[in-house]
Amino acid sequence: MTTTYGSFPGTRPRRLRTTPVMRRMVAETRLHPADFILPAFVREGVREPVPIAAMPGVVQHTRDSLKKAAAEAVAAGISGIMLFGVPEEEKKDAVGTPGTDPDGILQVALRDVRAEVGDDLLVMSDLCLDETTDHGHCGVLDDQGRVDNDATLERYAEMAQVQADAGAHVVGPSGMMDGQIGVVRDALDQIGREDVAILAYTAKYSSAFYGPFREAVGSSLKGDRRTYQQDPANFRESMRELALDLEEGADMVMVKPAGPYLDILARVADAVDVPVAAYQISGEYSMVEAAAEKGWVDRERAILETLTGIRRAGARNILTYWAVEAARLLR
């Protein structure tokens, strides 16, 4: 019998996929619980957690159940929790007064969580007016019903200060107002809170995938947010926003949504030397949950695969509603 050496193919990449241990050893991207931040909703005036129909497994927390969720996040080893407050409907008004009321639900929740976990978990706060305004927009409206950028910045400055006083380690200005990072940084520094970091929602796109979130925060939105959130068609605009946010003092930057904008995330991550985050938003979560409920996808594999893709694209940290569950799966 004649043996032929050097037969094609000589290079066989499959050798590095032969066993689980081999695949683990050569993996280029690894997920870790410390990568994750848990977005969480707390609703004023409820005695039991309220399930969010469009987001199976996610709830609007009571103050007590939020503290338990924060303790679970610490035990799971994740890095942070991003809080969204849902005030009682009758307290909403045109300027989002609950957002600057020291006794507003978000500020109360920040104090609760800091008392519960101290510095064992980064306590982050959404800095935006949309949950607290009766019109549902992220800013103050002018007499023609348009979002007034500069009047909104004044509200953001006050929000930053009350959130810092309530215990936020990190504030997340998410309204996409021009100049918001600089104004928030100045407002924090003026009250001696140079220690409070800013996670800038640098590239926040006007997306169809926010739908379930609107239920989660009891949104009163009329119209849309296309005059201030970014056009999904644009890339250069994101890089311009990135340069401005860094110049104004952002400590971390973020791309939102994550999955449909991995190309933007990769370009941002390549361009900066500050931590980059991405937000796996409600619609991304709900699509996987719905498909899994139908038996169309392997739920746990899909969760970890979507998160790996976001991490591979360049996100140092990922805001995801699966944060605690994913951490447990990894462990």
The catalytic residues are 204, 256
SS3 content of the chain, % helix, strand, coil (to 5): 45, 15, 40
Distance, in Å, from the CA atom of 110 to the CA atom of 310, rounded to the nearest integer, reads 28
Compute the C-alpha angle 228/234/238, nearest 5°.
70
DSSP string covering 267-302: HHHHH-SS-EEEE--HHHHHHHHHHHHTTSS-HHHH
Residue 274's identity, in one-letter code, is: V
Contact 73, 127 (CB under 8 A): no
Region label for 254, one of left (φ > 0), alpha (ψ between -120 and 50) or beta (otherwise)? beta
CA angle, residues 153, 94, 65, in degrees to nearest 5 = 85
Is 221:137 a contact under the CB 8 Å cutoff? yes
Question: Which residues are within 8 A (CB) of 74 and not within 5 positions of it... i.e. 6 or more apart?
Answer: 117, 120, 121
